[in-house]
């Protein structure tokens, strides 16, 4: 009997001990999670003697969850696309960052230090959005966004759904390519609506694209550069288009959730993911393109990333405030005119 009690007590003590280990909850994208665990989660857990719990999903789902739990947040740090973070800020979900606690901040490119203003976010990566396509099926290279309307591509392309991060930037670029402006988006929507016959599906997760390419459902699709590693892994011959109208650019930022009870750890985490070591590792694994200027990668890797100030400067970055303003209207128009 006493032996039982002893074991019980031991188990109890141990479990209480474990329960008291600090936990940091991070909301993230989930793409390449195994690489993220290798480069970020495990090294950080070792360093801080804490545990990271991830909540993964696409931007829209996670933002909805943050909003739903506004009064009782269960997430400490969120990694979001820039305009999604702006949406979160507008809803009062974020805590202003104390930049003195981020020792690596000065190593970042200027635009990454305070991308939304008010020190609400820090960018940890930036990526280009362009068209990935099969070079064996599409022998004439794609050199313009208008090429998606080629008749040979009937039933062979996928577009990002309007609720994904790539959605609005693609609409914006297409609109510009057909002569529209920031205030007149009719050209863009009309052309996208006319594209229906070419579209197989509107993907909600860029990871779905790898499957669509692998299964021969799709020959071309606009996508973010962060998915390039995944797409190459399908083994299909692919190329990254350099359209004359330009490639869009979106940065992913880290934000501190208001009401987080783990601010110490949160700051350490954000500082960690913008550090040179982590940014280099992520770049080498083709997970995220670096925004830390001290990162050096080999030329062949750099060619697969959005690397270096020159490339970054060439991107057409849509103002997050603009997207926040037009998003609801665009979602309505999209559902009504395009995704039917």
Partner 1 sequence: MLSQSPARLAAWILLSPALLFVAVFFLPPVIALLLESFHVGQTYGLQNYLTFFADDFNREVYWRTLWISLLVTLVSALVCYPAAYAVLKINPRWRGLIIGLIILPLMTSPVARTYTWLVVLGREGIVNKSLVETGLLQEPLRILFTEWAVFIGLLQLMMPLMLLSLVSAMENLPKDVVPAARSLGASEGQVFWRVILPLTREGLVVGGTLVFTGCVTAYVTPALLGGPRVTMLATLLYQKAGVTVDYAAAAVISAVMLLTTLLVNFLLRGRAVKTARAA
Partner 2 sequence: MRESRFPIVMLGMALLFLVGPFVVVFISAFSGDRTLAFPPSSFSLQWFAKVLTVEAFQASFVTSMWLGVLSTLLALLMGIPVAYALARYQVPGAEVIRVILTSPLILPALVVGLALLRYFVLIGNNSISFGLLIGHTALLLPYAVRVVSASLANLSRDIEDAAHSLGANRLQTFFRVVLPNIRGGVAAAGVLAFITSFNQVPVSLFLTGPGVSTLPIQMLLYMEYTYDPTIAALSTLLILFSILFVLLTERLLGISKYV
Q: Shortest Cβ distance from residue 248 to partner 2 (Å)?
A: 23
Tell me which residues in 142-171 interact with partner 1 (CB under 8 A): 155, 161, 163
Among 187, 211, 229, 308, binds partner 2 (CB under 8 A): 211
Backbone angles phi, psi at 294, to 5 degrees: -90, 5
C-alpha pair distances (Å), 154 with each of 18, 45, 159, 232: 56, 49, 13, 23
Is residue 43 part of the contact set for partner 2 (CB under 8 A)?
Answer: no
User: Smallest gap, in angstroms, from Cβ of residue 214 to partner 2?
Assistant: 5
Alpha helices, DSSP H only, in 40-148? 42-48, 59-68, 82-90, 110-113
3-state SS class at 303: coil
Answer with the entry of partner 1, partner 2, none that 2 interacts with (C-beta below 5 to 8 A by kind): none
Residue 194 near partner 2 by CB under 8 A: no
How many residues at the interface with partner 2, by CB under 8 A? Answer: 28
| Closest residue by Cα to residue 57 from 30, 85, 77, 22 | 30
Among 11, 13, 14, 67, binds partner 1 (CB under 8 A): 67
Residues 184-223 that bind partner 1 (CB under 8 A): 199-204, 211, 215-217
| Rounded least distance, CB 28 to partner 1, Å | 17
Closest CA to 291 of 254, 241, 248, 322: 254
Q: Which of these ranges, 62-70, 96-104, 106-114, 266-274, lies near partner 1 under the rule CB under 8 A?
A: 62-70
**Residue whose CB is less far from partner 1, 74 or 204:** 204
Coil, helix or strand at residue 200: strand
Query: Is there binding between residue 45 and partner 2 (CB under 8 A)?
Result: no
Q: Are the C-beta atoms of 79 and 252 separated by less than 8 Å? A: yes
Tell me how far apart the alpha carbons of residues 180 and 61 are, in angstroms, rounded to a whole number.
30
Write down the least CB distance from residue 59 to partner 1, Å.
10
Six-digit token string for 63: 């933002």
Residue 82 · residue 116 · CB < 8 Å: yes
Q: What is the CA radius of gyration of the chain?
A: 22
Among 50, 195, 200, 207, contact with partner 2 (rule: CB under 8 A): 207
CB 262 → partner 2: shortest distance, Å? 12
Q: Please tell me the distance from the alpha carbon of residue 287 to that of residue 53, in angstroms, as a whole number.
A: 20
- Token pair in block for residue 258: 């208001």
# residues near partner 1 by CB under 8 A: 24
27 forms part of the interface with partner 2 (CB under 8 A): yes
* Residue 43 vs 187, nearer CB to partner 2: 43
Classify the phi-psi angles of 235: left when phi > 0, otherwise alpha if psi is within -120 to 50, otherwise beta. left
The β-bridge relationship of strands 220-224 and 122-134 is antiparallel
Interface with partner 2 (CB under 8 A): 25, 27, 30-31, 33, 37, 53-57, 65, 68-69, 72, 74-75, 204-205, 207-208, 210-211, 214-215, 233-235
Interface with partner 1 (CB under 8 A): 60-61, 64-65, 67-68, 155, 161, 163, 199-204, 211, 215-217, 331, 335-336, 339-340
């Amino acid at each position: 009997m006493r032996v039982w009690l002893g074991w019980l007590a031991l188990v109890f003590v141990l479990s209480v001990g474990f329960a008291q280990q600090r936990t940091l909850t991070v909301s993230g994208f989930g793409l390449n999670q195994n690489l993220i665990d290798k480069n970020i989660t495990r090294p950080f857990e070792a360093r801080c003697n804490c545990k990271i719990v991830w909540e993964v999903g696409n931007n829209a789902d996670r933002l909805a969850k943050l909003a739903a739990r506004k009064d009782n947040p269960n997430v400490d740090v969120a990694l979001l696309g820039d305009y999604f973070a702006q949406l979160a800020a507008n809803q009062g979900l974020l805590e202003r960052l104390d930049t003195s606690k981020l020792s690596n901040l000065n190593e970042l490119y200027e635009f990454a230090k305070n991308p939304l203003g008010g020190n609400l976010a820090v960018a940890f990566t930036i990526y280009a959005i362009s068209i990935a396509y099969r070079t064996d099926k599409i022998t004439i290279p794609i050199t313009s966004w208008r090429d998606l309307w080629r008749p040979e591509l009937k039933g062979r392309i996928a577009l990002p759904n309007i609720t994904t991060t790539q959605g609005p930037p693609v609409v914006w670029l297409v609109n510009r390519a057909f002569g529209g402006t920031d205030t007149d988006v009719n050209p863009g929507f009309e052309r996208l609506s006319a594209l229906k016959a070419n579209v197989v599906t509107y993907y909600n997760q860029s990871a779905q694209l790898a499957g669509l390419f692998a299964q021969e459902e799709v020959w071309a699709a606009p996508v973010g550069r962060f998915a390039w590693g995944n797409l190459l892994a399908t083994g299909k011959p692919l190329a990254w288009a350099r359209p004359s109208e330009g490639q869009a650019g979106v940065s992913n930022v880290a934000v501190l959730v208001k009401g987080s009870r783990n601010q110490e750890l949160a700051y350490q985490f954000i500082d960690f993911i913008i550090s040179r070591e982590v940014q280099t590792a992520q770049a080498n694994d083709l997970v995220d393109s670096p925004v830390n200027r001290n990162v050096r990668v080999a030329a062949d890797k750099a060619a697969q990333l959005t690397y270096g100030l020159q490339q970054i400067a060439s991107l057409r970055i849509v103002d997050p405030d603009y997207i926040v303003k037009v998003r609801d209207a665009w979602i309505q128009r999209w559902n009504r005119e395009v995704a039917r």
